[in-house]
Structure 1
């Protein structure tokens, strides 16, 4: 009687097949673990056992989708961010692990015992930053803005699924909140220059909204606008945290230092040692 191959054999085939197509072979293991809701230990324990026909068929379908240029997160329909599952579509930027460091910075600077803060997330996309802020500090009043109506629909769905009370507003950067003031403004804006587009992975270009990726003025256009628009929105002793491209630290820091001359502006590095964010502490 014919038997199915083992998990180990199927994963070896899948990873080799992906690598033959210049793709990351490790994606096959992640797809399998996510589909089965397993951790690595579960997989190791099952390594030598026979894979089910259904699981093998699903993995083959997923590998085929990867080969055809679909993003892994879109195949699954979600991505993990700060240990929570967020729905993602082609209308939203896929949350990156590096962006979790923005959350870490925010939480480090705002201890749990600190009172209620008014927090604004500009360019919320899937809602990952705004929702995470609300879940980690439930006392805060969180507002999230995006210019994309379709992205906001995804963000609202994530907020509902994760039971996070966030006010979502449609509009261009600070326009929907022009008459309000905030203790903290957080943003992961588009910052890739048009000139860098040929260097961007084809999977990213095909699967993620260019509106959330690219910016004019050498990638600095949104930072220039934020530096101009944020001073009227900030409360005394407020904070601004923005993600940046790894070559943009000095340029973006200079923009915010000029906009907030009495403030302390620092370039913060990520875990790999690259410039990752600008932090502004108002007096």
Structure 2
């Protein structure tokens, strides 16, 4: 009979606590059970990297027993480890995450890399201070990273969720990033502006596919950050329709998108007629994950 409640055996070593926790999660078919157990152990013990591995033979601290049991049991219920820990690394920096925001993904770092590359080319050509806007910022990971990597750029970011903006603002303060946050739907908060760069990782999951997502994502990450409408493309269409709100279209536009959506999003950019070059960037799995429009 499978255990459904995790209880640590008396006086284990840290290594034994890891084995117990990972075996418990594996028995419940929790994905990446060993990685999740290690993340939660490191969090509970306040250790990471080399310090964690060097401590494996040490006795598990009795005063941290309840904290580990609680964390593992929450993970067993499906709660993402990042929400339990309250943090996710992005571009080498720690970002606070709560259930109000989507957990930043590694593939989004490639979107940041592409924006930095083509944005720097714009800087070289114009020798002007660029202004970039991040639409649907969530935790603020994209906007804050761009602001820290290119301090000369002006960064503004928006989200429809006031709770998400509170998280993003805390991240900007913690990381000392100069980003201005605005609440509103997609491009609406920037009406009348002429940003040089527009970047967005909007909701792009087709509505009918959400029930088939991993339970961690489906049941815990914010639905408004996932649901892209019937085919997942609604946010892109709306942003294209909202472009006249801006006093001039951005010279660089960059989107993250879902599997199989690259050509449709590229066609939306081509049809808008503002960008001479359309670039598709694959993720590390070879999936076309980002589409950019560039004015030359």
The normalised TM-score by structure 2 is 0.89
The answer as to whether partners of 1:231 and 1:260 remain within 8 angstroms in 2 is no
Counterpart residue number, 2:113: 104
The answer as to whether partners of 1:181 and 1:232 remain within 8 angstroms in 2 is no
Counterpart residue number, 1:124: 137
Counterpart residue number, 2:6: none
What's the offset of the Cα at 1:236? 7.5
Range that drifts further, 80-89 or 224-233? 224-233
The answer as to whether partners of 1:91 and 1:150 remain within 8 angstroms in 2 is yes
What's the CA shift string for 1:215-248, capped at 9, x where partnerless?
1140011111122323663857811110000211
The answer as to whether partners of 2:139 and 2:168 remain within 8 angstroms in 1 is yes
> 2:274 & 2:86 partners in 1: Cα distance?
44
Unpaired runs of 5+ residues, structure 2, are 1-8
Please say if 1:248 is aligned against 2:261.
yes
Counterpart residue number, 2:27: 20
Range that drifts further, 31-40 or 167-176? 31-40
Say which SS state the counterpart of residue 138 (structure 1) adopts.
coil
Q: 2:270 aligns with which of 224, 243, 257?
A: 257
Counterpart residue number, 2:208: 195
Q: 2:239 aligns with which of 190, 203, 226?
A: 226
The answer as to whether partners of 2:191 and 2:247 remain within 8 angstroms in 1 is no
Q: Which has the higher strand share?
A: 1
> 1:148 & 1:181 partners in 2: Cα distance?
24
The root-mean-square deviation of aligned C-alpha atoms, in Å, is: 2.1
What's the CA shift string for 1:181-215, capped at 9, x where partnerless?
11110000000001211221112122111111001
Counterpart residue number, 1:137: 150
What's the offset of the Cα at 1:262? 5.0
Counterpart residue number, 1:51: 60
Say which SS state the counterpart of residue 160 (structure 1) adopts.
helix
Counterpart residue number, 2:220: 207
> 1:69 & 1:232 partners in 2: Cα distance?
41
> 1:81 & 1:43 partners in 2: Cα distance?
21
The normalised TM-score by structure 1 is 0.92
Say which SS state the counterpart of residue 251 (structure 2) adopts.
strand
The answer as to whether partners of 2:22 and 2:36 remain within 8 angstroms in 1 is yes
The answer as to whether partners of 2:198 and 2:250 remain within 8 angstroms in 1 is no
> 2:92 & 2:71 partners in 1: Cα distance?
23
